[in-house]
Structure 1
Amino acid sequence: MKVLVTGDTGYIGSVMVPMLVEEGFDVVGVDADLFEDCIFMPPQRPARHMRAHVGDLTQRDLEGFDAVFHLAALSNDPLGDLNPNLTYELNHAATVHLAMVAKQAGVGRFLFSSSCSLYGASGDGAVTEEAPFAPITPYARSKAMVEWSLSAMADRDFSPVFLRNATAYGLSPRLRFDLVLNNLTAWAVAKGRVLIKSDGTPWRPIVHIEDITRAFIAAARAPRERVHNEAFNIGRDEENYQIRDIADMVEQVVPDCVIEYAPGGEPDKRSYSVSFAKVRRQLPEFQPQWTARRGVEQLYEAYRQVGVSVEDFEGPRFRRIDTLKRLIAEGRLDASLRWTSPARERGPVEVAAAG
């Protein structure tokens, strides 16, 4: 199966692509490469990679692909708040454009990396895929908008599939430290404190990025009638946690650390637990392998080996929003987050050795 992976050099994509290659997929990656310098450890690259914004791709670019794995997005709430209109342009309008040219090119399956965050403040009980959307942030609203738009495009020749990922965690060459499990573990290793910035009560479902990849693989290979225009929460029922529960795990794994609450921490409006019964029922091929505790152990070992400081994960080196602000201030990106040098903005497919 030939697949186009958008956001292939991002946090999830740089882990997904090598797993897809190992599974026998023919992979081409595309990414604007805005965060190419945010490297925690040496990344692998797909055999073919194109530097481009997905909103600029054409029907010709999509010809010959069997599926699109669409990861590319402004991918967290601070980035979404940088310019909400730009968030909707890049996350919603560009995705709809990509889906349209994919459909015109005869791509049969479009797997969209959605998010459980579109449930927002869901109240009591584990929400199912039938729950109403209650997005709180521009990022979450953009995910809901994409689902509505792509669902209307579904027909006998074009199958969108919506993979609503739980909050991601896990080791990646382009690590994100703004994700709760990654962040709490980093604080514990760097400062001996598991710093909780809320009151610790919000609920979050969490899922390892390798298991997100396993879900994409299962959805790509499943019979059409099981996934056509369907949404799936991606994770495990037992991996719904309150933030303080994750902090407890970190305290148990990282020696000589203590839990600390930041002054003025308040309840986070984003609080939701999620049911994963549907993905177990309709995609039994999806078999997640990770638990939160194993994820803490993985990150603890990596942070110790590579070395991590507060300046790394709270400063400009890995904070995506700071990276964008710096590139804009230096004149390397314009206001639409496109490279100001045409040669850097878009290049042909580059052939390079993977690994």
Structure 2
Amino acid sequence: MRVLLTGHQGYLGSVMVPALRAAGHDVVGLDSGLFADCLLGPAPADPPSVDVDLRDVTEAHLAGFDAVIHLAALSNDPLGSLAPDVTYAINHHASVRLANIAKDAGVKRFLYASTCSVYGSAGEDLVTESAPLRPLTPYAESKVRVEDDVAGIADSGFSPVFLRNATAFGFSPRLRADIVLNNLVGVATLTGTVRVLSDGTPWRPLVHARDIAAAFCAALVAPTGAIHCRAYNVGIEANNVTVAQIADAAAAAVPGSTVALTGETGPDPRSYRVDFSAIRTAFEGYAPQWTVADGAVELYENYVRWGLTDELFTTRFTRLAHLQGLRGSGVLDESLRFLRIGAGHA
């Protein structure tokens, strides 16, 4: 299958490319290069790519593809809150526009990377895909809007599927340090203390980046009737954990580290536990392999192996700081467009 992967130079995309290739797909990337240089360790082998801002995609860019996997987004809640208009322009409007162009170009299958954070504050019960959506941030709200709008253009020739990923974790050659397990293991590695600013009680569903990649690979080849215009939670119930439990896993992975629950930011309203049974039923053989504990060990080993430093951790691998740095140095404008041709490409 010939697949266009948006965001191939991002945290998830850099893990998904080799998974798609291993499954026998012909992969082409599409990326503006915002995070191409966010590397820890050797650069991955990127596929042939289209170097274009998501907002500038044309039908010619999508001609000849059997499927589109759409990962590209501003994937960070603080970033979305800082620049909500840009978040909606990229995450919502450009994503819906991409889907429409894909349909016009004859693409049959459109896999959209949504998020379990659309459930917001859901309490203690396990939430299924039919649960009320209560997004609490511009990032989560943009995902809900895309699901609604893209579902509206589905027909017999254009099958979208919405993969609501749990919070990702795990090592990627293009690292993110601003997602919870990656962050806590990094802080422990650099300081010896797993520092949690909340009270540690909120629930989070977690899923390894490789298990997300496996879900997208499964969705590419699933029967159309199983995926057409449906949403699936991506993860496993065993990885529904509290923030305090995530902190304990990080401390267990980093020798000599301790946990400090400061509670200084108060309780986090985002708390939800997720039911993942639907994806196991729809995608035969899909079974996430990575536990939170295993992921914490993997992260620690790679942080040590590739020489993680405090400067890299707080700037290059933190989405908000990285983009602020690019804007401050005159590489990006206020709308996060590159001001110099080729500036975004590694």
Alignment of 1:139-178 (within 5 A): 139-178=139-178
Alignment of 1:219-234 (within 5 A): 219-234=219-234
In structure 2, C-alpha distance between the alignment counterparts of 1:344 and 1:62, rounded to whole Å: 23
Q: Say which is worse superposed, 9-18 or 302-311, in terms of deviation.
A: 302-311
In structure 2, C-alpha distance between the alignment counterparts of 1:84 and 1:45, rounded to whole Å: 33
Q: Is the 8 A contact 2:30 2:49 kept in 1?
A: yes
Residue deviations 1:231-276, cap 9 Å, x none? 0000001110001111122222221111012351311111100000
Match of 2:101 in 1: 101
In structure 1, C-alpha distance between the alignment counterparts of 2:340 and 2:301, rounded to whole Å: 39
Alignment of 1:251-262 (within 5 A): 251-262=251-262
Q: Aligned partner of 2:337: which letter? A: R
In structure 1, C-alpha distance between the alignment counterparts of 2:79 and 2:247, rounded to whole Å: 25
In structure 1, C-alpha distance between the alignment counterparts of 2:191 and 2:104, rounded to whole Å: 53
Q: Aligned partner of 1:133: which letter? A: L
Cα distance, 1:49 vs. partner?
Answer: 1.3
Q: Is the 8 A contact 1:2 1:27 kept in 2?
A: yes
Match of 1:210 in 2: 210
Query: What is the TM-score normalised by the length of structure 1?
Result: 0.94
SS of 1:316's equivalent in the other structure is: helix
Q: Is the 8 A contact 2:40 2:175 kept in 1?
A: yes
Q: Is the 8 A contact 1:191 1:310 kept in 2?
A: no
Distance 1:185 1:343, change over 3 A: closer
Q: CA RMSD for the aligned pairs?
A: 1.5
Alignment of 1:120-131 (within 5 A): 120-131=120-131
Cα distance, 1:278 vs. partner?
Answer: 0.7
Q: Is the 8 A contact 2:95 2:146 kept in 1?
A: yes
Match of 1:279 in 2: 279
SS of 1:272's equivalent in the other structure is: strand
In structure 2, C-alpha distance between the alignment counterparts of 1:44 and 1:308, rounded to whole Å: 18
Match of 1:331 in 2: 330
Q: Say which is worse superposed, 217-226 or 73-82, in terms of deviation.
A: 73-82
Query: What is the TM-score normalised by the length of structure 2?
Result: 0.97
In structure 2, C-alpha distance between the alignment counterparts of 1:322 and 1:343, rounded to whole Å: 21
In structure 2, C-alpha distance between the alignment counterparts of 1:289 and 1:306, rounded to whole Å: 24
Q: Is the 8 A contact 2:128 2:276 kept in 1?
A: yes
In structure 2, C-alpha distance between the alignment counterparts of 1:74 and 1:274, rounded to whole Å: 23
Cα distance, 1:340 vs. partner?
Answer: 1.3
In structure 2, C-alpha distance between the alignment counterparts of 1:98 and 1:265, rounded to whole Å: 38
Cα distance, 1:180 vs. partner?
Answer: 0.8
In structure 2, C-alpha distance between the alignment counterparts of 1:145 and 1:156, rounded to whole Å: 22
Cα distance, 1:326 vs. partner?
Answer: 2.0
Residue deviations 1:79-105, cap 9 Å, x none? 112210110010000001110110001
Q: Aligned partner of 1:132: which letter? A: P
1:6 aligns with 2:6: yes
Identity, in percent, stands at 49
In structure 2, C-alpha distance between the alignment counterparts of 1:263 and 1:226, rounded to whole Å: 44
Q: Is the 8 A contact 2:178 2:317 kept in 1?
A: no
In structure 2, C-alpha distance between the alignment counterparts of 1:331 and 1:191, rounded to whole Å: 32
In structure 1, C-alpha distance between the alignment counterparts of 2:327 and 2:244, rounded to whole Å: 37
Cα distance, 1:343 vs. partner?
Answer: 4.9
Q: Aligned partner of 2:308: which letter? A: V
Match of 1:87 in 2: 87
Q: Is the 8 A contact 2:69 2:110 kept in 1?
A: yes
Distance 1:81 1:123, change over 3 A: same
Cα distance, 1:344 vs. partner?
Answer: 4.8
1:298 aligns with 2:298: yes
In structure 2, C-alpha distance between the alignment counterparts of 1:273 and 1:202, rounded to whole Å: 9
Q: Is the 8 A contact 1:9 1:45 kept in 2?
A: no
1:250 aligns with 2:253: no
Q: Is the 8 A contact 2:212 2:234 kept in 1?
A: yes
Q: Is the 8 A contact 1:14 1:43 kept in 2?
A: no
Q: Is the 8 A contact 1:27 1:46 kept in 2?
A: no
Match of 1:353 in 2: none
SS of 1:333's equivalent in the other structure is: coil
